[in-house]
Structure 1
Amino acid sequence: MPLSGDHSLPEDLYSADAVREIDHYVIDQQGVDGFELMQAAAASAFRRLVRYWPEAGRILVLCGAGNNGGDGYLVAANAVRHGLDVDCLAVAPTEKLSGDARKAWEKAVEDGVRVRELADVDESEVSEHFTSAGLIVDAMLGTGVTGAPREPFATMIHGCNEADAPVLAIDLPSGLNATTGTVAGETVRAAATVTFIGLKAGLFTGQGPECAGEVAFESLDTDDWARESGQRPLARRVDWAGIHKAIPRRPRAAHKGRFGHVLIVAGDRGYGGAGLMTAEAASRAGAGMVTLATRPEYVAPALARCPSVIVQGLIHGSELPPLISAADVIVCGPGIGQGAWGQQMLQQVVASGKPRVLDADALNLMASRVAQPAENQILTPHPGEAARLLECGVEDIENDRIQAAEEIRRLFGGVILLKGAGTVVVSGAAVPDIINGSNPGMATGGMGDVLSGILGSLYAQLGEAHLSASAAAALHLAAANRASETLGYMGLLPIDVIDALPRVLVESERGSMAGKGGKGAVED
């Protein structure tokens, strides 16, 4: 469900601890009253509630014991003052409330909110609350969650997810780890989340995008203090709308030599399509020249599909060096297999020392052998490949995706692009990037091949590995989203994403040419 309103978000993403420190700095060092800050948060959350669901009907507000619960009580108070029909359940006993959270409860009661203690409500009545709600406000658990929610929170979270009504999460969906985006048990699946003070990294990676829904941010006028607090962002939020501005526009006198020559080494027997999709994606993403080195039997199909690509059929790795010498960037791995052919190809690529993108079976081969670290390489593992590289389980990777990517980088160097919802890009030169968004239609074979082609193309054009990796992941997602607008998710294929690339790029090109004197020329 698309929601109305302004969803512009800052770039900086913080850990839960960092946001708490910023909050303390604002209150303790800048003298801002904590209860006033809570009131401002609740008022902004209520404004979002009305904007998103102007005809919500009956509103069920679920409140916990901490400041997150305090936000909920004040949201309920705002709703009652505006004449809305509100049910408010104290999931944690109100006798446990203290500080600003207690003030919030008292204010809600004073303003006419009927707060019911969950312990005093029988199971059938709780069920009726969920059934009759037109909207549920989740203000149960905040940023301190690190494990599975305990009772009665787990039951109430389950009720939220089973209800027909949408859920608005206050600051964070209950049960979600604010730093890593992991879930350890029942976790609210919200339609939207309104978060405050600093964007939490966990909202944008791992299970975060699935649980948070559409994210809105309210700084509560603390932007300058957040910077002054000295808290370093854990990561940077990246999307195509922002990062495409870092890609230089093409001059009118452009020629193909200015945009790089990409060599794609891909496609052992049975996997010819992997090389073809990688090469076509590299071409569609703007590489000046693309050469595909693949098995001889795939030369004719590749030329039929994409005649602009130079295609060479190779039987043995000894045939690869002349092609490597002509290339600026090499993409190796899609469909090369783990047999002798793939091993020979990877050995030649690594031995060349040239800038490279390693994906798929290249990563699997690296995991089974000692590999020398290299700073000019970009590795693009999905969680399974990352687990093989680190000799651990997939769940270990997903428990902290940024940490896992940083550990792979420590072992192999270069830039690590850890794929998945909220793709993570890590290098030694910059704060990690998290690509904003996800698309369930991309969960199909071949999507990684398309990403590798886009990445090789941008690396050849830009020459900077971290920027290229983040821009490629953002462009890949933007093209998938564009294709999904007409094709949906279930039927989305990698070739659909390739076909959508020019439609995404043309808008960016037009934007970069605004005020530049007209259309940019592209020369053969």
Structure 2
Amino acid sequence: MCAANASLPESLYAADGVRALDRCVIDDFGTPGFELMQRAARSAFRQLARHWPDARQVLVLCGAGNNGGDGYLVAASARRQGLSVRCLAVADPARLKGDAATAHESAREAGVAIERYDGSSPALLGDALAEADVVVDAMLGTGITGALRSPFDQAIAAVRESARPVLAIDVPSGLDATTGWIETDAVSAAVTVTFIGLKTGLLTGQGPDVAGEVVFDDLGVDPATYDRVPAVACRADWNTEARHVPVRRRGAHKGDCGRLLVIAGERGFGGAALLAAEAAARTGAGLVTLATRPEHVSAALSRCPSLMVHGLTHGNELDALLAKADGIVFGPGAGQGAWGQQMLQRVMAFEGPVLMDADALNMLSSRAPGKHDNWILTPHPGEAARLLGVANDRVSRDRMDAIAQLEQRYGGVVLLKGAGTLVLSGNMARPALVQGGNPGMATGGMGDVLSGIIGSLAVQGLSPSRAAVMGASLHAEAADRASLEKGFMGLLPMDLIDRLPSVLGEVEGVRRPPGDQ
């Protein structure tokens, strides 16, 4: 389902999977653990020098285990390069073992003065932060489990309050490397350099909030290593998905490009209906029909006259439109009252692809679950929690587990919205994690646009799972381009719709049908 691009690898791993990769490199391929640690430290120091070339004062915070060992070696490299280095041991160095203990001794031999920080002297850390041009976070890495303990909680809070730029080694301390959940607090990094396996938690949930720019280094391990440990997800973005844009024949007509029926817009929610329908039209569906409340017909035709708009009062009026549709988008602004319930009754029997969003999902959550292979469900975390009958934070704590449960319960394709959107269906070997997008998308109507995009792709011949992954990637790309002009706070759903033709047009420009000039 996904392919890698030049910046980050395709395969994503949980924390235990990365540990298995480490053991495989050491035990099966004979690379000494300390050699891997040295490679990681050299890689981290390169990123420090690249991003902060003028830094003269470096503060390195080291924990226990191999993450702390990486930090000690980074401190040694910085010292050898003539930088002024302060290194605070947030975990007692006497507890270090193996490669981490060797790294600690290497730092001492390089002339690094290592001071113990146990939380009892806030001034020690405060003074060190005040002097630092950049902070290297090597406290916890992938080792976080549950709430933070002292003195790590004090150290992380102090780093955040200092607003000093941070280079995080492997994972920002406090972030769950698998789920992207922050139980208590986490370091907010400007750059995170991560090794051997790309961790899912950096790219989904709260991970994007604190990871900053993510840089990956495989440390030169044998590529066969990755055949030994299965990935838990694959990464996708517009660069990987653009190649799936449908190519039109020169002789194509509107009927060849799919007939999409958008059922949306209870009284007072006509905007949601129009956003979904117009986004579908801008994404290439040949015929887009909007079934909505009669009160919204005039506004819809004024905004987008290419739509075929029908004002419906009762569910039985929908039957003739369903007979002509190749696929359906149902739910944006549909309400959960009698009008929406009547529409849902008819939609449930439709055999083509049906995208269920917004109020459609809320209505489904009050029914006995049933599997439908033709469904595309697009919940945000709150809707996902209602569909599963759990508290909202259960979904956010483990998005990978939540989407697996949703797919098992409801079938079809599930797209779990949020930073690091996830897509899963029964015919996918593992979930796809879609990168892209920005904080400007945190406004009403963005999900309606996404529904229209995916529905449009689904009636143009893409499989439901491909339509979901590609649609989410296209949606994020359009938002990122629109934000360059509009910023984040001023970004509106219509801005994304306006960018869709240019994003798609770039792909069409290099993949013209035979005979086109």
Same fold per superposition (TM over 0.5):
yes
Query: Equivalent of 1:337, from 335, 348, 351?
Result: 335
Structure-2 change in CA distance of 1:356 and 1:161 (3 Å): same
SS in 1 for 2:143: coil
Code of the residue aligned with 2:315 in structure 1: it is: G
SS in 1 for 2:177: coil
Asked if the contact 1:68/1:171 (under 8 Å) is kept, the reply is: yes
Code of the residue aligned with 1:416 in structure 2: it is: V
Tell me which residue corresponds to 2:182. 183
Tell me which residue corresponds to 2:492. 493
Q: What is the alpha-carbon distance in structure 2 between the residues aligned to residue 429 and residue 351 of structure 1?
A: 22
Q: Please tell me whether residue 49 in structure 1 is matched to residue 20 in structure 2.
A: no
What is the deviation of 1:375?
0.5
Tell me which residue corresponds to 1:273. 271
Asked if the contact 1:261/1:287 (under 8 Å) is kept, the reply is: yes
Structure-2 change in CA distance of 1:344 and 1:517 (3 Å): closer
The Cα offsets for residues 483-504 of structure 1, whole Å up to 9 and x where unpaired, read as 1111111111111111121222
Q: What is the alpha-carbon distance in structure 2 between the residues aligned to residue 44 and residue 493 of structure 1?
A: 40
Tell me which residue corresponds to 1:258. 256
Q: Percent identity?
A: 55
Code of the residue aligned with 1:265 in structure 2: it is: I
Code of the residue aligned with 1:304 in structure 2: it is: S
Q: What is the alpha-carbon distance in structure 1 between the residues aligned to residue 256 and residue 56 of structure 2?
A: 59
Asked if the contact 1:58/1:86 (under 8 Å) is kept, the reply is: yes
Tell me which residue corresponds to 1:129. 128
What is the deviation of 1:346?
1.1
Code of the residue aligned with 1:26 in structure 2: it is: V
Q: What is the alpha-carbon distance in structure 1 between the residues aligned to residue 237 and residue 39 of structure 2?
A: 29
What is the deviation of 1:509?
2.5
Tell me which residue corresponds to 2:191. 192
Code of the residue aligned with 1:138 in structure 2: it is: D
What is the deviation of 1:506?
2.1
Moved more, 363-372 or 373-382: 363-372
- Superposed, 1:271-310 pairs within 5 Å as 271-310=269-308
Code of the residue aligned with 2:326 in structure 1: it is: D
Structure-2 change in CA distance of 1:252 and 1:48 (3 Å): farther
What is the deviation of 1:263?
0.5
Moved more, 7-16 or 242-251: 242-251
The Cα offsets for residues 373-392 of structure 1, whole Å up to 9 and x where unpaired, read as 11011000011111111111
Q: What is the alpha-carbon distance in structure 2 between the residues aligned to residue 395 and residue 366 of structure 1?
A: 20
TM-score (norm 2): 0.96
The Cα offsets for residues 265-301 of structure 1, whole Å up to 9 and x where unpaired, read as 0001010111100000001111111100001111111
SS in 2 for 1:461: coil
Q: What is the alpha-carbon distance in structure 1 between the residues aligned to residue 462 and residue 490 of structure 2?
A: 35
- Superposed, 1:348-497 pairs within 5 Å as 348-430=346-428, 431-497=430-496
Runs ≥4 residues deviating over 6 A: none
Structure-2 change in CA distance of 1:61 and 1:409 (3 Å): same
What is the deviation of 1:50?
1.0
The Cα offsets for residues 199-249 of structure 1, whole Å up to 9 and x where unpaired, read as 0111111001111111010001125133232x1111011101111112343
Asked if the contact 1:7/1:217 (under 8 Å) is kept, the reply is: no
Asked if the contact 1:26/1:225 (under 8 Å) is kept, the reply is: no
Asked if the contact 1:402/1:426 (under 8 Å) is kept, the reply is: no
SS in 2 for 1:236: strand
Q: Where does structure 1 lack aligned partners over 5 or more consecutive residues?
A: 1-5
Asked if the contact 2:319/2:346 (under 8 Å) is kept, the reply is: yes
Q: Please tell me whether residue 58 in structure 1 is matched to residue 67 in structure 2.
A: no
Q: Please tell me whether residue 84 in structure 1 is matched to residue 83 in structure 2.
A: yes
SS in 2 for 1:249: coil
What is the deviation of 1:517?
7.2
**Number of aligned residues:** 512
What is the deviation of 1:120?
9.4
Asked if the contact 2:294/2:310 (under 8 Å) is kept, the reply is: yes
Q: What is the alpha-carbon distance in structure 1 between the residues aligned to residue 275 and residue 156 of structure 2?
A: 43
Code of the residue aligned with 2:301 in structure 1: it is: L
Tell me which residue corresponds to 1:144. 143
The Cα offsets for residues 136-184 of structure 1, whole Å up to 9 and x where unpaired, read as 1100002121211211011111111111321110000101111111111
Tell me which residue corresponds to 2:211. 212
Asked if the contact 2:69/2:100 (under 8 Å) is kept, the reply is: yes
The Cα offsets for residues 434-464 of structure 1, whole Å up to 9 and x where unpaired, read as 1113411111111110000001011111330
Moved more, 6-15 or 367-376: 6-15
